[in-house]
Amino acid sequence: MKATIAVLPGDGIGPEVVGQATRLLDAIAEKYGHEFVFVEGMIGGIAIDETGDPLPAETVAICESADAILLGAVGGPKWSDPTATVQPERGLLGLRQHFGLFANLRPVKTYPALAEQAPLRAELLQDVDILFVRELVSGIYFGERQEQGEGDVSYDTMRYSREQVAQVANVAFRAAQGRRKILCSVDKANVLASMRLWRRTVVEVHKDYDDVALEHLLVDAATMHLLTRPNSFDVIVAGNMFGDILSDEASVLAGSLGMLPSASLRADRFGLYEPVHGTAPDIAGKGLANPIGMFLSAAMLLRYSLGLEAEATAIEAAVDAALDAGLRTADIARAGEEIASTAAFADAVISRV
């Protein structure tokens, strides 16, 4: 197979983990007889510095000509002024909206090799394997807003249509059918009108998936149950903001935010793949970044956009094997354990591929 992948390193540790991910994909291509063409573009803070736009037209064109997008991270203290008219995160939101990437998949699982250092009791973490399905192009991040600068009143609007909720609910139900057939829908239907629409719509869509058990949880209860009964969850579907917060909270189950991948998909096979973590400016350039979230995002790219299941599984197995062998980056190392650099951990994974 020949595939073109748009590569958007972004800011902070983004270029470091993306660089290792392209090395890993080259190793996969060599082993399995594929050809991956990487075309690089700018996004986020670096794009603002170079062009004044967090999502330059040239970057959009690169992505439009690609089979999938691999992205590092955007933002950082240099561009963190909340009153700025141009912000790095608008580049990422713009990509999601331009390409209609409405469904964000964020898998979270526990690793036996890391259980001893997890902040929760080991018995709570046994067999945790959750897939978050987050609605990505609607809700409070995209609703009508009013920014008053230094004024006294501003607002953001959480807006959903039935079609938007149904679209992401169908993705979540289909995912549950391929797993343990349990779906938890998270909302705030006791307070918010938009969330009452969310719940009604999910109930309607459920009629087409009677083999899937459906549970509803208010978001405040969900935050608690994620830490007290995490292994009871299979697939969790939530709106844009709640899905963002809950999946970040769930990073403690895996041991670190650096472990978590994500895929942002539209109705066809096209998608954007990025680790859940941010730019981590405090460690940027030091070779300390954990590349696992980026590597697993690359595996999701192979699986969802290119249909290469064996190749995706090979990456996931290589990551597991490196962890089982005792390789640890700084964020998942216990006191006294040897710390592997970003490049050393990548070498360990690539050698196992």
For the chain, give every domain's residue range: 1-101+261-353, 119-254
* Full 3-state SS string of 91-111: HHHHHHHHCCCCEEEEEEECC
Q: Which of 248, 205, 202, 196 is nearest to 227 (CA)?
A: 248
Q: Helix, strand, or coil here: 315?
A: helix
C-alpha dihedral over 320, 110, 259, 270, to 10 degrees?
90
| Token pair in block for residue 13 | 């540790």
Topology of domain 1-101+261-353, per CATH?
A: Isopropylmalate Dehydrogenase (3.40.718)
Tokens of 297: 């995002």
Q: Which of 188, 273, 304, 331 is catalytic?
A: 188
Residue 111 annotated in active site: no
| Angle, vertex CA 258, rays to CA 254 and CA 264, nearest 5 | 95
Residues 6+ away with beta carbon under 8 Å from 141: 93, 156, 240, 241
Active site residue 282: no
* Separation of alpha carbons 88 and 70, rounded Å: 17
pTM of the entire predicted model: 0.93
Superfamily of domain 119-254: Isopropylmalate Dehydrogenase (3.40.718.10)
Encode pLDDT of 144-196 as tens digits: 988 766 678 899 999 999 999 999 999 999 999 999 999 999 999 999 999 99
Asked whether 246 and 238 are in contact (CB, 8 A), the reply is: yes
- Could you say which of 244, 273, 304, 331 is catalytic? 244
Select which of 11, 109, 141, 304 is catalytic. 141
pLDDT tens, per residue, the chain with 353 residues: 999 999 999 999 999 999 999 999 999 999 999 999 999 999 999 999 999 999 999 999 999 999 999 999 999 999 988 777 889 999 999 999 999 999 999 999 998 888 777 788 888 888 999 999 999 999 999 899 887 666 788 999 999 999 999 999 999 999 999 999 999 999 999 999 999 999 999 999 999 999 999 999 999 999 999 999 999 999 999 999 999 999 999 988 988 889 999 999 999 999 999 999 999 999 999 999 999 999 999 999 999 999 999 999 999 999 999 999 999 999 999 888 899 999 999 999 999 99
49 catalytic, yes or no? Answer: no
- Asked about 208 being catalytic, the answer comes back as no
Q: Tell me if residue 248 is catalytic.
A: yes
How far is CA 297 from its chain centroid?
A: 8
Burial readout 184-210 (b: 16 or more C-beta within 10 A, e: otherwise):
bbbbbbeebebbebbbebbeebbeebe
| Number of helices and strands in the chain (H, E) | 13, 12
Catalytic residue among 53, 248, 320, 347: 248
Catalytic residue among 220, 282, 286, 324: 220
Shared fold status for 1-101+261-353 and 119-254:
yes
79 vs 92, 120, 122, 213, 315, CA distance in Å?
14, 35, 40, 44, 34
* Phi, then psi, of 130 in degrees rounded to 5: -120, 140
Contact partners, residue 171, CB within 8 Å, separation at least 6? 103, 133, 237, 265
- CA nearest neighbour of 263 among 314, 225, 298: 298
Alpha carbons 196 and 189: distance in angstroms, whole number = 4
